[in-house]
C-alpha cells in the first residue's frame, strides 16, 4: 500500500545523500514537517527529541559529504517503542508506574542504532507494558480505528511518514499485526536474533525485538545495523552471505497455512487473501494447500493448539516482574494484567515443562516441512483494523510464529475499502534473510 504522505523511502533518500542532491538534515526536516502535520491526529509519540535529532542529522550530512556513512541506515529517522530503554529520553512502558522514568543507559539495540548513525526522533506509544490496556494512538488511514498493538505508535508513525523505521516488540502478535493494520512492512526475526537487553520483559519464552518499516529493505537494513554493532548468539546463525541488501528471490514451493483461526476472518478479508494467492499463482508462485499435503494438514491441526498453549507460557513468565507490580501498585495495573498474573501463578512446574515439550514437538514438525517449503503463507491479521481504540485486534493467526520462535513478515499487499491488510509469510528458524528475499519477490509479484 503506498505511503500516506508520498515521502521518499530511505533507500531513495540515501542514494541522493550519496550524490549530494539531498542531505540527511533536509530529509529529517521533511519528516518533522510531516510529524507536525499529522501527529495531533495520529498521536504516535510519547515524547520527541527534535533538537538532538537535528544535531545527529547534521553529523550524518557531514559523513555523507566525506563519503563515510557509518551504516546502511546512517541519517535515517527512527522511532523507539516506549518499552525500550533510552538514556536521553524517558521510558514509560505505557504505565503510570514508570511515568517520566529515565533509564541510565540505552538498550543494546538503541545503542547499535546510534552507532550506525540512525536518528532517533522520539519514543513511540505502546500499550501498557506491551500486553495490557490500549494506548491513545490512532490508525493513520482512519482515526476511528486502532493501529493495532502493542507496537502502536511505531506502526502509525511509519505509515504516516514521520519515520522510516522503528523498533517494535512482539510477544504474540505485536509487530506483524500493527504493520498489517497500518499498511507497512513488519519483520519479526527468529527468536533471539535481535538483543533484548534494555527491553522491558513480558515473556522470556516469547519476546522478540523487531522492526516496522516503510519497506522490507529498510526493515532488513535496520536489523542488520543492530546485529552488526551488537550481535547476539542467534544472529550469527543467520545466512547473510549476500550482504546487507535484499534481492528478490523466487520461492519454490510455499505452504498455505489454514487453521481454525480463519473463522475470525470476515468474508471480505478472506476473499482478498484468496484473490492475492490466486494472483501469485498466475504469476508463477507454487502455493500448496493443506488438502494437497497430509503433513501440511497435520501441521495446521497442531497450530490450532498454539493460542491456548502460548497463553499458558506467557502468563507463567509474567510472574516476574508483574506479580510485584500487582502487589505494590495494584491501582496502577490494569485488570487484564492482574488476571494474567493470577493465571500464571496456577501453572505448576510440571505443566510448564509439558507445554515446552509440546512446543518443541510442533517446532520439529514445522522444521521438517521447512525442508520442503520455502515459506508458509497466511493472513497477517484477522481482518482490517477494528473500529475503536480499546480493541487492538486478535492474535490468533500471529501467535504461531511467536510461540515457535520462527521469522515472520507482514507484507502490505492487500486493501479492503480504504483500509490495508497484510499477508504474513513465515519461515524456518534462522531463514530470515532468505524469507525477506522471498518476501521482496512476492511484493514484486504484487506490483509493489
Q: Which residues are designated catalytic?
A: 81, 150, 174
Separation between Cα atoms, residue 403 and residue 172, nearest integer Å: 7
| 3-state percent helix, strand, coil for the chain, nearest multiple of 5 | 45, 15, 40
Q: At how many degrees (to 10) do helices 306-317 and 349-370 cross?
A: 130
Residues β-bridged to residue 272:
none
| Closest C-alpha to 139, from 94, 171, 184 | 184
Q: Give the span between the Cα atoms of 317 and 196, in whole angstroms.
A: 15
Cell numbers that stand for 306 in this block: 498454539
Q: Is the peptide bond before 413 cis (omega within 30 degrees of 0)?
A: no
Looking from the CA of 210 toward its CB, the CA atoms found within 13 Å total 36
- Contact indicator for 172, 206 with CB cutoff of 8 Å: yes
Q: DSSP letter at 383? A: S
Dihedral sign for Cα 202, 205, 102, 155, please: negative
* 8 Å CB contact between 256 and 425: no
Could you tell me if 151 and 187 are in contact, meaning their C-beta atoms sit under 8 angstroms apart?
no
- Helical (H) or strand (E) element with 46: strand 45-48
Dihedral pair phi/psi, residue 378, rounded to 5°: -165, 170
Q: How far is CA 366 from CA 80, 188, 207, 296, 359, in A?
A: 32, 17, 20, 9, 11
CA distances from 251 to 176, 404, 434, 436, 446 (A): 21, 22, 9, 11, 14
Q: What distance in Å separates the CA atoms of residue 377 and residue 240, rounded to the nearest whole number?
A: 23
Q: Which are the contacts of 40, defined by CB distance < 8 A and separation ≥ 6?
A: none
Burial class (CB in 10 A: 0-12, 13-18, 19+), 307: buried
Amino acid at each position: 500500500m503506498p505511503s500516506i504522505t508520498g515521502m521518499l523511502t530511505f533507500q531513495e533518500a540515501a542514494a541522493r545523500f550519496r550524490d549530494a542532491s539531498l542531505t540527511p538534515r533536509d530529509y529529517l526536516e521533511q519528516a518533522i514537517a510531516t510529524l507536525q502535520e499529522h501527529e495531533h491526529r495520529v498521536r504516535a509519540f510519547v515524547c520527541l527529541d527534535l533538537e538532538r535529532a537535528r544535531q545527529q542529522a547534521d553529523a550524518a550530512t557531514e559523513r555523507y559529504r566525506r563519503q563515510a556513512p557509518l551504516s546502511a541506515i546512517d541519517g535515517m529517522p527512527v522511532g523507539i517503542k516506549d518499552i525500550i530503554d533510552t538514556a536521553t529520553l524517558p521510558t514509560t512502558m505505557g504505565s503510570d508506574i514508570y511515568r517520566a522514568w529515565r533509564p541510565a543507559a540505552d538498550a543494546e539495540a538503541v545503542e547499535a542504532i546510534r552507532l550506525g548513525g540512525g536518528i532517533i526522533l522520539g519514543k513511540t506509544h505502546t500499550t501498557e507494558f506491551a500486553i495490557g490496556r490500549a494506548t491513545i494512538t490512532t490508525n493513520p488511514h482512519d482515526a476511528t480505528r486502532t493501529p493495532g498493538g502493542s507496537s502502536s505508535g511505531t506502526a502509525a508513525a511509519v505509515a504516516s511518514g514521520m519515520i522510516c523505521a522503528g523498533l517494535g516488540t512482539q510477544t504474540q502478535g505485536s509487530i506483524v499485526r500493527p504493520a498489517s493494520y497500518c499498511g507497512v512492512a513488519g519483520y519479526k526475526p527468529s527468536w533471539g536474533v535481535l538483543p533484548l537487553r534494555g527491553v522491558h520483559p513480558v515473556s522470556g519464552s516469547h519476546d522478540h525485538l523487531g522492526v516496522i518499516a516503510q519497506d522490507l529493505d529498510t526493515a532488513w537494513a535496520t536489523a542488520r545495523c543492530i546485529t552488526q554493532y551488537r550481535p547476539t548468539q542467534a544472529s550469527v546463525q543467520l545466512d547473510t552471505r549476500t550482504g546487507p541488501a535484499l534481492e528478490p528471490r523466487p520461492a519454490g514451493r510455499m505452504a498455505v497455512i489454514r487453521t481454525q483461526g480463519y473463522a475470525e476472518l470476515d468474508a471480505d478479508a478472506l476473499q482478498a487473501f484468496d484473490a492475492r494467492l490466486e494472483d501469485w499463482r498466475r504469476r508463477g508462485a507454487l502455493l500448496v494447500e493443506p488438502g494437497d499435503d497430509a503433513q501440511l494438514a497435520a501441521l495446521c491441526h497442531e497450530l490450532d493448539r498454539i493460542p491456548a498453549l502460548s497463553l499458558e507460557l506467557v502468563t507463567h513468565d509474567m510472574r516476574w516482574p508483574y506479580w510485584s507490580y500487582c502487589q505494590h501498585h495494584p491501582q496502577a495495573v490494569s485488570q487484564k494484567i492482574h488476571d494474567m498474573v493470577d493465571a500464571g501463578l496456577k501453572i505448576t512446574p510440571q505443566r510448564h515443562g509439558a507445554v515446552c515439550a509440546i512446543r518443541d514437538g510442533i517446532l520439529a514438525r514445522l522444521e521438517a516441512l521447512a525442508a520442503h517449503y520455502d515459506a508458509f503463507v497466511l493472513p497477517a491479521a484477522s481482518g482490517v483494523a477494528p473500529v475503536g481504540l480499546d480493541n487492538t485486534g486478535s492474535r490468533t493467526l500471529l501467535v504461531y510464529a511467536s510461540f515457535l520462535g520462527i521469522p515472520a513478515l507482514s507484507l502490505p499487499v492487500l486493501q479492503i475499502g480504504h483500509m490495508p491488510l497484510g499477508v504474513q509469510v513465515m519461515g524456518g528458524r534462522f531463514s530470515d534473510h532468505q524469507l525477506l528475499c522471498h518476501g521482496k519477490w512476492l511484493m514484486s509479484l504484487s506490483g509493489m
